[in-house]
Structure 1
Amino acid sequence: MASPTNPSTYKGPVGPLRHRCSLCPATGSQLLRCAGCRASRYCSREHQVAHRPQHKFACNKIKKARAKLAQEDHDVRNATPDFMTPANAFETEVGRFWSIINTRDYMRARIALVRQLVLLGTLDGVQEGFDHMQDMLKLCRGDNMGVRHLVPAIMLRLDLDQECYDFMKWWVTCDPDGHYDWGDMSLPHLNIHGADVLEDPKVFLGKYSELNFLVALVLLKLKLLVDIRNLKITRKILTGRIPFELRDQIERHVIRSPLSAKLQKQTPESLVESELKLLNHARQLGCAIMEANSNFMFHLFEPDEALSDEPSSYSRGSWEEMALAMQNSYATWWETEGVLDLLNDARACAARDSESEIDDWMEDESRRHGRTAAEVLADLGVNRVWGYLNFAAENASYLGPWSERPSERHTEEILEAWARTLAEEAELENLSDDEAWSDDEDEMALFATPQLFPLTL
C-alpha cells in the first residue's frame, strides 16, 4: 500500500474503530458525514469547517479516486465487444476479471480508492475499503493484485477476528499441490468458516510463509493474550467483592475480540492453558516473522522510516517487503490496545537480561559492526523479544509492587543459576581428572548447565 509522507496517518485513536468527529472526541452514528469523501464525520458544521484545511487534501484525493473508478466502471459495463472484450464483464466474467484486459484499469482504479479510504483511518473509510476488497476478490479469484495481503489486518481493525483467521487459513491451504484451477468458478472459494484459532499454526509456517499473514496472525494471538490479561486482572480485583452477574457484565466490557467471549466462559485453569497455548503460538510466529524478513521487528519499534517509504515492488525478505507489510498492518498494531506495550516490555526484559553479554560483544568487531554498547543492547532486545514474551505476559497481569514483578523474579533466578554454574565450573577445575570423570550420577550432574536465557535468535 502506497504511503503518505506523514507516518502519523497510521497513528489514530487507540482502541476499536468508532464513528468519531475528526476534530474532537465526540462519537456516535449520528455524526454528520462529509459530503465530499463520505468517509469522515463531524459533530457540527463548525468543526467540519475548522477541520477543512487538514482534511481537504485527503478529501479531494478520495473524490478523484471515486470519479476515476466510476469512469472505469462505465467503460467496462459499456465496452464495445470483440474477440478479447465482452460487452459487460460484470455479467459474464465474474471471478476471472484479470484475464480480461479491459478490466485491469478498473481494478487498478478500485484498489487506488481502497488505499485512500483505508489511509483516512475512519470507521467509514476502513469499512468501505474492506467492502471493496471483498468484492474485488469475487471479481478476480486469483487475486493478481495481491488484495489478500491487505485484507487480514483490515479485518482485525474491524474486529472480524474469526473471519480473519478463516480467510488466511483458506489461502494457505486452498492449493496444496498447485493444481487449483482459479478459472473454475465451481470450485470452493473462501469457504472455511469457524476454524479453530487456537489450533497449531504449523500450516502458516513454511519456507515461503507469507509475511503479511504471519504479521496478522501474531497480531490476532496477541490481541487474545491482551484480552486474557484483562480478564485475569478483572477477576483478581472483583472476585468476592461484587455479585457474579455484575462481574460477568464488567468482564464483557474489558475484552475486545469477539473470540474472547469463549475465553471468558473458561475456568481459571482452562484460561491459563489457553494463555500458554497462545504464548507458544505467538513465539513461533514471531520467530517465523524474523526468519521471513529480518527487518520487520526492528522497524516495528521504530516504524516512521518504513511508513514514509513508497516502494513500488519488492523481493522476499527485502526492505521494500517489510515497508509494505508495515504500511499494511501498522494502524492495526497501533489501534489494538496493549499489544505494542506487551512487545515493548518483552524487549526491555530481553535487553536487561542481555546486559552481562555486552562486554564480550564490544570486544568482537565482527559482532559489534561499529555499534555503540547501547545500540548493541537495543538490537539484542529486539532479537530476543519473542523469547521473553512470557515474561511480559506475566508482568501484564501482575498487580503487586513493580520491583517484585515476575520478570524481576525470573531474572534473579537466572542470575542465581548462572552463579551456581560458575561456582560448579570453578570446583570442577580444582578436581583431579579421576574425580572429574567419576561415574557417580551426582558428580556427573555438575556438568549440567541450566538454560540461562529464553529463546534467542
Structure 2
Amino acid sequence: MANTTPSVSDYKGIVGPLRHRCSHCQAAGPNLLRCNGCLAVRYCSCEHQAAHWPKHKSACSKIKKARAKLAQEDHAVRNATEDFMTPANAFESHAGHFWGMINTRDYMRARMALALKLLRQGTLGSVSEAYEHMRDMLRLNRSDNMGIRDMVPALMLRLDLDQECYDFVKWWATCDPDGRYDWGDMDLPHLNIHGADVFEEPKFLLVKYNPDLNSLVALLLLNLKLLVDIHNLKITRKILSRTRLPTKLRDKIELAVVRSPLSTKLQKEAPGSLLQTESTLINHIRQLGVALATSDRQFMFNLFDPDEALCRRPEAYSRGSWEEMAFAIQNSYAAWWEMEGVLDLLKDARMCARQRSKDEIEQIVNTKPFKPGSVSNRTAEELLEDMSVNRLWTWLHYAAENACYLGPWSKRPSERHESQARNGLGSPLSDMKGRARKFG
C-alpha cells in the first residue's frame, strides 16, 4: 500500500497568494493547460507536463480514483431503493441532516477523501475545489459530524475570503449559546452572518471557557494578515513620500502591496487613522495569542517547529491534547506559510522577547536551589527558548515597529528600546513591565 502520510512539503508551497501556476516550473499565467486526469494541476506546456509526470503520476491516479469513488457513491444515494431507513434520494429529501441517514455516510466519506487529496496538491484550483466540496458538505449536513468547520476557515484565508472567514468563525461561535439549537430544523438560520465587523473586539470567542482551537488560530492569523498589510502600506507610503508620482499611480502601488480584500478600505485611511487601526489589531492579536497559549500551550512551539506535527496524522483527539494541536497545525499551516510576512513578524517578536528575558533567566539560574540539569532538567538556554515563545505577544509591538523601519539593523526600534532599558531610560510605553507580568 502506498504511503499516505503527509510530508512537510505538502504544506510548504510558494509564499504569497494562491495563483494558477505551472506545477513544473511554477510560472504563473492565465492560459495554463489543466491535467485531464486529476483536473487539479496546470502546466504552461505539454513538455512541462511530461517532465512533471513522474512526480505527479501517483497523486493523479489517487485523485482520479477518488473522483470515481465519489461518483459511485453519489449514484447510490440518488438511486437508493427506498425503505423505512433509506430515502429514495437523500439529496432532495434530507439535505441539511445527511449524517442522520446511514446510506449517505459512505458518500460523505468519499467526498472528504477527495477534498483531502486535492488539498495536498496545494494549487489554486485544487484548494478552491476542496473548499467548495466542504462548504457543500456543510449544507448537506448542518451539524458537521465530520469536523469540516475546523478546516474551512484556513482555506478561506488561503483563498483571501477574509470577510467570509470572520463571518464563518463568528457564526459557529455564537449560533448555539444555550445548547438548544435544533440542527434538524431546516427553518432555523444557518451560516447567516454576513459582513460582521472584523475589527471589533473578539469577545464572542474569548468569553468562552475553552474556545475552539481552530477558531482561535484562524482569527489570530486573520488579524496578523491585516497587520502585515498595514505595515506594507506604511513602508510604501514612506518610500512614495520621496517621489512626485501622480495620486492615481500612488494609489495603485499601495493597493498592490496589500493582500487582504479588507485592506482596500485601510488603503483609504489617513495616517492617524491607520495608526489607530494598527494599535487595535495589535491589541486583538495579543488577546487572541494569550487565549491560544491558555487553551493550548503547545501550538506556538509547534508552529515554529512544525515537522513532527505535520507528519503525524492522529486518528482522534481529546481537548487540550497533542493530537488536537497536531490537527490544528495541519489544518492551518499552509495558510501560515503562504501568508507572506506573518511568520517573520512572529519570529521577530520572539527574538525581542528573548532579548528582554535574558537578564531574568540569568537571575533564575543563579538563584538557589535552581540547578540546570537537576530537578528541572532544563538548561538556561532551554528556559530562554520557552520564555521567548510564551512572551512573544508582550513584545509584538516592538516587532511591529521593526517591520516598518527602513534604516540600519543596529538602529532598529527594538534595539533602541533595549538600549534605553539597559541604560535605565525606560521603555517608550510606561506600562511595559506590567504587560510583561500580565502576559508572560
**Considering the TM-score relative to the shorter chain, is it more than 0.5?**
yes
Query: Distance in 2 between the 1:100 and 1:175 partners?
Result: 23
Residue 397 (structure 2) aligns with: 390
Partner of 1:406: 413
SS in 2 for 1:358: helix
Letter in 1 for 2:341: G
SS at 1:387's partner residue? coil
Q: Distance in 1 between matches of 2:159 and 2:279?
A: 26
The 3-state SS of whatever aligns with 2:15 is coil
Task: Determine if contact 2:394/2:435 at 8 Å carries over to the other structure.
Answer: no
What corresponds to 2:224 in structure 1? Answer: 222
Checking the alignment, whether the CA contact within 8 Å between 2:233 and 2:267 is kept in structure 1 is yes
Superposition pairs of residues 25-424 of structure 1, within 5 angstroms: 25-205=26-206, 206-239=208-241, 241=243, 242-363=245-366, 364-365=370-371, 369-417=376-424
Once the two structures are TM-superposed, the CA of residue 357 in structure 1 deviates from its matched residue by 2.1
The higher radius of gyration belongs to 1
Does the 8 Å contact 2:420/2:426 carry over to 1? no
Tell me by how many angstroms 1:4 deviates.
Answer: 3.2
Residue 407 of structure 2 aligns with an amino acid whose one-letter code is G
Deviates more, 1:312-321 or 1:360-369: 360-369
Matched-pair contact (CA < 8 Å) for 1:354–1:380: yes
* Conserved 8 A contact 2:12-2:337: yes
Contact 2:299 2:329 in 1 (8 A): yes
Residue type of the partner of 1:246?
L
* Deviation for aligned residue 1:60: 1.6
Query: 1:56, CA displacement in angstroms?
Result: 1.6
Amino acid in the other structure paired with 1:375: E
Assess, with a 3 A threshold, how the Cα gap between structure 1 residues 44 and 450 changes in structure 2: closer, same or farther: closer
Q: TM-score, normalised by structure 1?
A: 0.90
Identical residues among aligned pairs (%): 63
Judging changes above 3 Å, is the alpha-carbon distance between structure 1 residues 299 and 450 closer, same or farther for their aligned structure 2 residues?
closer
**Paired letter, 1:235:** R
Asked if 2 retains the 8 angstrom alpha-carbon contact of 1:362 and 1:368, the reply is no
2:298 aligned partner, one-letter code: N
Larger mean Cα displacement after TM superposition, 303-312 or 56-65: 56-65
Deviation at 1:408, TM superposition (A): 1.2
1:51-106 C-alpha deviation (Å, 9 max, x unpaired): 11111222122112111111111111111111010011001000010111111111
Residues 137 and 365 (structure 1), Cα distance of their counterparts in 2 relative to 1, 3 Å cut: farther
In 2: Cα distance, 1:41 partner to 1:29 partner: 10
TM-score by length of 2: 0.94
Deviating more after overlay: 60-69 vs 268-277: 60-69
Matches of 2:388 and 2:65 in 1, distance apart? 45
What amino acid sits opposite 1:411 in the alignment? E
Counterpart-to-counterpart distance in 1, 2:4 and 2:302: 15
Structure-2 change in CA distance of 1:369 and 1:3 (3 Å): farther
For this pair of structures, how many residues does the alignment match? 429
Distance 2:324 2:65 in 1: 28
On the 8 A contact 1:130/1:151 being kept in 2, the answer is yes
Q: How much does 1:376 deviate? A: 1.8
Once the two structures are TM-superposed, the CA of residue 388 in structure 1 deviates from its matched residue by 1.1
Secondary structure class of the residue paired with 1:39: coil
RMSD: 2.0
Q: Does the CA contact (< 8 Å) of 1:95 and 1:183 recur in 2?
A: yes
- 2: CA distance between counterparts of 1:234 and 1:449? 29
Pair 202,391 (structure 1): closer, same or farther in 2 beyond 3 Å: same
Which amino acid in structure 2 is aligned with residue 8 of structure 1?
A: S
- 1:195 is aligned with what amino acid? A
